[in-house]
Chain A
Amino acid sequence: GQNIDQPTEMTATEGAIVQINCTYQTSGFNGLFWYQQHAGEAPTFLSYNVLDGLEEKGRFSSFLSRSKGYSYLLLKELQMKDSASYLCALYSSASKIIFGSGTRLSIRP
Chain B
Amino acid sequence: DAEITQSPRHKITETGRQVTLACHQTWNHNNMFWYRQDLGHGLRLIHYSYGVQDTNKGEVSDGYSVSRSNTEDLPLTLESAASSQTSVYFCASSEATGSDEQYFGPGTRLTVT
Contact = CB atoms under 8 A, between A and B. Distances in A.
Contacts, number: 47
Contact of B44 (A30, A45, A99): A99
Which DSSP category, helix, strand, loop or mixed, fits chain A's interface? strand
Nearest to B40: A101
Nearest to A31: B99
Contacts of B90: 42-43
B42 A45 contact: no
Interface residues of B, number: 21
Interface stretch (B15-23, B64-72, B75-83, B104-112): B104-112
Interface in B34-85: 35, 40-45, 48, 58-59
B99 A30 contact: yes
Contacts of B106: 41-42
Contact of A42 (B40, B44, B98, B104): B104
A33 B58 contact: no
A51 interface: no
A43 B104 contact: yes
B101 A48 contact: yes
Interface in A83-106: 87, 89, 91, 95-102
B102 interface: yes
A19 interface: no
Contacts of B99: 30-31, 48, 50, 91
B101 A96 contact: no
Interface string A46-75: 001010000000000000000000000000
Interface of A: 30-31, 33, 41-45, 48, 50, 87, 89, 91, 95-102
Give the 6 A-B residue pairs with the shortest CB-CB distance, closest first: A42-B104, A45-B101, A101-B42, A99-B43, A99-B42, A95-B98
